Chain A
Amino acid sequence: MALDRLTIGFLPLVDAALPILAQEHGFAEAEGLELSFVRDMSWATVLDRLLYGHSDAAHLLAPLAIATTLGRGRPAKPLAVPFVLGLNGNAVTLSQDLAARLVETGKLGDPNATGSALAREIMRLAKTGQRLRFGVVHRYSSHNYMLRYWLAASGIAPDRDVDIVTVAPPFAADALAAGEVDGICVGEPWNSVAVEQGAGRIAIVTSQIWRRGVEKVLAVPEAVLEDKAPLFERLIRALLSAGRNFIDPDSWDANAALLARPEYLDGSAALIRRAISDRILLARDTAPVHIPDFMFQHRDAANFPWKSQAAWLYSQLVRWDGLTYAAEDAERAGHVFRPDFYRGAVSGHDEPLPGASSKVEGGLETMIAVGGTQGRLALGPDVFFDGRTFDPDDISGYLEALPVVK
């Protein structure tokens, strides 16, 4: 039988893994699909190709899928997210100089203590007219939102006390080494590249800020998802098989080597393996640290597109773009994430399915069994480091309660 083709756009990052593994390990073929890939070097181009039909789907920053649907920065185009490619996997890497003043070498910083120390350092520098600069990968990225969340909760006003600029991931280590920025919040393997080059040290990781922070998604133009619905249902099942493979320790070496290939990440298998295995080298010449939830690609229904995740991203877009909460925008943003579609694809297959489509984010401090329509499902802790919880039914209340540090 001839295979149906789908073209997927991606940026060379470790969290582009699932579609690549789905194709390379034959999970796509088992679903009658052949995946081809278009690699790009900027999110703008990944998005252009998606919107103008060069690709059917894309590995995309979750906030960018929301921003594109709401028409932030360009005319609105509705995108749909039927599958989450992974949670977290990013880190804040500081220049050697700044890291030396804030964290113990080779140890992961505590987000509260490191945040407070950073706030004091910023005040000290301000007295001599100096100002720290941080690089994030995109205005509409979880990196930007996580960094800002951490700074704001630490008493630092992101738009007043520091500069936050956009630096493309492949340039992040270089920008840090050259002193263009004092810190970067970027995905793997680029923190590890910076560590390896001696340009900086990983101070904290984003899973410490929000234990289950939504990261990359599979984004599809809404009309394409409707047109090719049966193909995308098969793609979701192939991606879930890839997810199971990704978290299997026996696959780590082979998968790191595969992702490192020139047509994919074109990088070092050893550095990629660190992220895959959650074993991160924080500084050069130290021992790797095991950070259990560093990169969360499959367990605990990690691939399920919760409406509440979309709602949280919308709340941060309102917060940092200086918008006013609007119920209809919240509705449109929530509609980007498509648990209904995921459910249709997985129903009747061997994969646990949550009963709800939305939840209070940050409310779980320990592993808890939850109601599911299929299979047994437990969800692990999903806390924000400052202990706040996000109720998707009260976005404006949440926004009012956040520290005002603009």
Chain B
Amino acid sequence: MDDNPARAAIIEEGLQEAGEDEITTIVERRGLAGKLEEMAPDVILIDIENPSRDELEELFAISRAAARPIAMFVDQSDEETTEAAIDAGVSAYIVDGLSKNRIKPILDLAVRRFNAFSRLQRELHEARTALADKDVIDRAKHILMAQRHVSEPEAHGLLRSQAMNSNRRIVDIADAIVTASELMGGMDGA
């Protein structure tokens, strides 16, 4: 269960490569009980930020009395594996009696892929931030070029020396210049 389709696809692909071929991704919360009953899953993987976890656990609590009770993974695994899963942001629920040999690789894979996905997201976020930073610096340079009548390399030099002197980042200096310029009436020069 994952409301992030990209991540769900990555997990699904990994599990298929590992030889698990009966995989269903659930995104929609409504009708959860019915879907689970119909699928009779052996293992459920869920993103720990998914708001449906309490609902899911309640269904399992009821199922404990049923023919195929579902247990929390923490019932059957070592603390270390559970901790790694929580750290990665994934939780697992397993049908009672499923062999440990089968559970372990599934969970390890989910943990690895969750971690890889988080890393990718972080990198993407950083790349976006870097792009936004570059945009602010370019605008500040244009303002300096227009107002101080300097070349682009000179404008860059001004930003850099000001940053070094005041022990701040270039982007912070650029941001201050852009903000000040907007306040002074959009003398952006761009």
Contacts and interface: CB of A to CB of B under 8 A. Distances in A.
B25 interface: no
Given A52-B83, A52-B86, A178-B30, A168 B52 contact: yes
Nearest to A72: B61
Interface residues of B, number: 21
B91 A44 contact: yes
B26 to A, nearest CB: 15
A35 B50 CA distance: 25
B182 interface: no
Contact of B53 (A44, A137, A139, A167): A44
A44 B57 contact: yes
A41 interface: yes
Contact of B82 (A44, A52, A168, A170): A52
A279 interface: no
A168 B54 contact: yes
A170 B83 CA distance: 27
A74 B71 CA distance: 8
B48 interface: yes
Nearest to A144: B58
A41 B30 contact: no
A73 interface: yes
Contacts of A180: 30
Interface string A130-143: 00000001110000
A74 B74 contact: yes
Nearest to A141: B54
A138 B54 contact: yes
A139 B60 CA distance: 11
Interface in A185-239: none
B51 to A, nearest CB: 4
Contacts of B48: 40, 42, 44-45, 48
Given A52-B82, A52-B83, A178-B30, A42 B51 contact: yes
A49 interface: yes
A166 B58 contact: yes
B55 interface: yes
A168 B49 CA distance: 12
A54 interface: yes
Contacts of B152: none
B49 A45 contact: yes
B72 A40 contact: no
Interface in A45-90: 45, 48-49, 52, 54, 73-75
A43 to B, nearest CB: 5
A265 to B, nearest CB: 14
A75 B76 CA distance: 10
Nearest to B64: A73
Contact of B51 (A74, A75, A171): A171
B134 interface: no
B75 interface: yes
B58 A48 contact: no
A41 B74 contact: no
B168 interface: no
A165 interface: yes
Contacts of B53: 41-45
Cβ-closest 6 pairs across A and B: A166-B58, A41-B51, A42-B53, A44-B53, A52-B86, A168-B51
Interface of B: 29-30, 48-55, 57-58, 61, 72, 74-75, 82-83, 86-87, 91
